[in-house]
Amino acid sequence: MHMVIGIDGGTWSSFDQFSEKMPFLSSMKAKGCRGVLRSVMPTGSAAAWTSFATGKNPGKHGIISWEIKPFSEKIAGTGDIREMEIWDIISSNGLRVGVMCPPISFPPKHVNGFYVSGIGRPSINENMILPEEDAARARDMLEDMNTIEYMKENGRDATREKIAAMTVKKTDFFIEMMRKYSPEFGFILLDENDRFQHFFWDDPEALGDYYSVLDASLQKIYDEFPSANFFIISDHGFHAAPKKYFHINTWLMENGYIKVGLFERIKILLYPLGKKLLGWLAKEGEVPAWMKRFVPHQENIIKNIQEKPDFLGFNNFSLFVRNKEHIIEIRDKLKLVLDQGIPVFREVNIKTEAYTGALADNMPEIVFLMNENYAINTNFSTSIISPAGTAVWKGYHTFAPEGIMLCFGPDIKESMHLDASIMDIAPTILHNMEVPVPRDCDGKVLYDMLKENKQTRYFDSLKPEGSTDMEKGEEELVKKKLRDLGYM
């Protein structure tokens, strides 16, 4: 059996700090094959976990965020993944699989085994599991949670306990389903870790307590399947909330890429005042529509500057550039941006440097990773750099590409260090299971970690066709949940 446990947002820098709270993970780290697992760009769950599952980059599978296309406001579903995923391939080769809560997983897929939708499902009341005979049990064991609303109503301590309990129940349900279906391959995503770290990254006591629960869940799965080959991985790392904002539209304006007239510049100057006024009024009740129109706010500023802007920022990691002649110039200038002698960007790439494949043209023209002390702010400002405001989120992963990898089991070498790409895991597992590997995988088989040399078989994988549209009500439920998690 091959078992993949995804720890969303897992990072060695934090796990090692709390090693006494994670005795199982620490002991296996000393014995197994461990290393850093490099994510893809962007370092978000949608793109990264889909890149794990397909072994391919977003330019091939087509998923860069939670929307089908940037700015479309159409939520991506399983039908929008343009490549076969690891469970599709294993299942099509006559082996059973068990899949628990990957992102971009609604509607649930028909596989040889079981499949449970995760992040991106509308709610537990929808058809989120196949076979449907397990739906009632899934609703008993899994739940949806708006963390911000829950915290406001119940407080921080109750929120800590709630997220921990969700981790335990999901683990128990996964084990229960694995027992029932006896698959040769299992996958579970413990995305509660990511949620917890977002809200409690600055609270060592809370982190330690949650990591203890997480570690116990890992051990529980191992104790149930001690003869399996385990791959414990994360989609990205984590870091503290940024201290400063980089106002990218202001930078574009000051460098002559956005043309702004005097009237619009006055609006930009008025924007901070208008924002404060709206915030003050909001405390007294709902802001009237006429006041929103009267007070300049960011959306109106952008709309009035250009009806069809040359630059569209997307999800804090990229730029879509209409004037293709400026792409290389902007990339090179962003690389040189300094703040008190410190580079603001740690990596800036044009899309041909970051993506390959038939869907690469749909990707942003420029993608970047920033120094973790900085975050993109699309608001126009009187300065390019400004102090970051306080937010409910205490931890971020927007610019943390270093995830974790810990592998152990009867087929895996012991006590070795090996860094890899998140796209390497699927072809490695397929190879070791003697299942054909897609010929156009971007990931490579990690032969160095495996005890036995086998002949890798390849095949030309089929390309899934068609997309799955959600109903409007379902889509709004998904958007609300993704906004709570900071993904929209």
Which residues constitute the domain of residue 372?
A: 244-395
- Which tens digits make up the pLDDT trace of 57-107? 999 999 988 887 766 668 889 999 999 999 999 999 999 999 999 999 999
* In the block, residue with structure tokens 């043209």: 361
Give the pair of three-digit tokens for residue 484.
């709570």
Could you report the per-residue pLDDT of 331-390, keeping only the tens digit for each? 999 999 999 999 999 999 999 999 999 999 988 899 999 998 998 887 778 899 999 877
**Number of domains comprising the chain:** 2
Q: Are 11 and 145 found together in one domain?
A: yes
Question: At which residue do the structure tokens 């003869």 appear?
Answer: 227
Q: Which residues pair with 404 in a beta bridge?
A: 36
Q: Which residue has the higher pLDDT, 65 or 11?
A: 11
Say yes or no to pLDDT of 291 above 50.
no
Q: Of 261-265, 284-288, 308-312, where does mean pLDDT reach its minimum?
A: 308-312
Which of 395, 412, 428 is at the close of a domain?
395
Residues 144 and 100 in one domain: yes
- Domain boundary (395, 411, 443) is at 395
Question: Does residue 295 sit in the same domain as residue 368?
Answer: yes
Last residue of a domain, one of 395, 426, 456: 395
Q: Is 411 helix (H, G, I), strand (E, B) or coil?
A: coil
- Which of 198-212, 285-299, 372-386, 389-403 is predicted least confidently? 285-299
Question: Are 189 and 45 found together in one domain?
Answer: yes
Window from 24-28, 39-43, 49-53, 70-74 with minimum mean pLDDT: 70-74
Q: In this model, does residue 267 exceed pLDDT 60?
A: yes
CB atoms within 10 A of CB 413: 14
Q: Are residues 365 and 420 in the same domain?
A: no
Q: Do 217 and 315 belong to one domain?
A: no
Q: What is the CATH number of the domain that holds 232?
A: 3.40.720.10
Strand partners, 239: 396
Average pLDDT over the chain, rounded to whole? 87
pLDDT beyond 90 at 34: yes
Cα distance from N-terminal residue to C-terminal residue, the chain: 37
CA–CA dist 337, 400 (Å, integer):
19
Contact 29, 36 (CB under 8 A): no
pLDDT above 70: residue 27: yes
Q: What is the DSSP string of 374-394?
A: EEEE-S--SSSEEEPPP-S--
pLDDT (0 to 100) of residue 301: 39
**What pLDDT does 299 receive?**
44
- Identify the residue with better confidence: 30 or 437: 437
pLDDT value of position 307: 38
Q: State the Rg of the chain over Cα.
A: 23
Q: Are residues 286 and 304 in the same domain?
A: yes
- Structure confidence at residue 297 as a pLDDT band (50, 70, 90): very low
DSSP 15: H
pLDDT in tens, 457-481: 999 988 776 555 566 566 666 556 6
Among 441, 64, 12, 393, smallest CA distance to 203 is for: 393
Highest mean pLDDT (candidates 60-64, 265-269, 305-309, 426-430):
426-430
Model confidence at 124: pLDDT above 80: no
Q: Mean per-residue pLDDT for 448-453?
A: 94
**279 and 372 inside one domain:** yes
Mark whether 400 and 386 lie in a shared domain: no
What tens digit of pLDDT does each residue of 159-172 get? 999 999 999 999 99
Q: Specify the amino acid at residue 471.
A: E
Burial of residue 226, with CB atoms counted within 10 A of its CB: 0-12 exposed, 13-18 middle, 19 or more buried: exposed
State residue 250's pLDDT score.
85
The answer to whether residues 190 and 171 belong to one domain is yes
Q: Residue 298 has what pLDDT?
A: 46
Task: State pLDDT tens for residues 242-262.
Answer: 999 998 888 888 888 877 777
Question: For the chain, what percent of residues have pLDDT higher than 70?
Answer: 83
Whether residue 110 is found in the same domain as residue 207: yes
CA dihedral 166, 172, 173, 176 (to 10 degrees): 180
Take residue 31 and report the two structure tokens written for it: 């014995």
Helix (H) or strand (E) segment spanning residue 328? helix 327-335
Residues 234 and 8: beta-carbon distance below 8 Å: yes
Task: Give the CA dihedral 29, 32, 35, 37, nearest 10 degrees.
Answer: -100
Same domain, 429 and 331: no
Q: Which pLDDT band holds residue 295 (cuts at 50, 70, 90)? A: very low
The band of 317, judged by pLDDT with boundaries at 50, 70 and 90, is confident
For 295-321, what is the mean pLDDT?
52
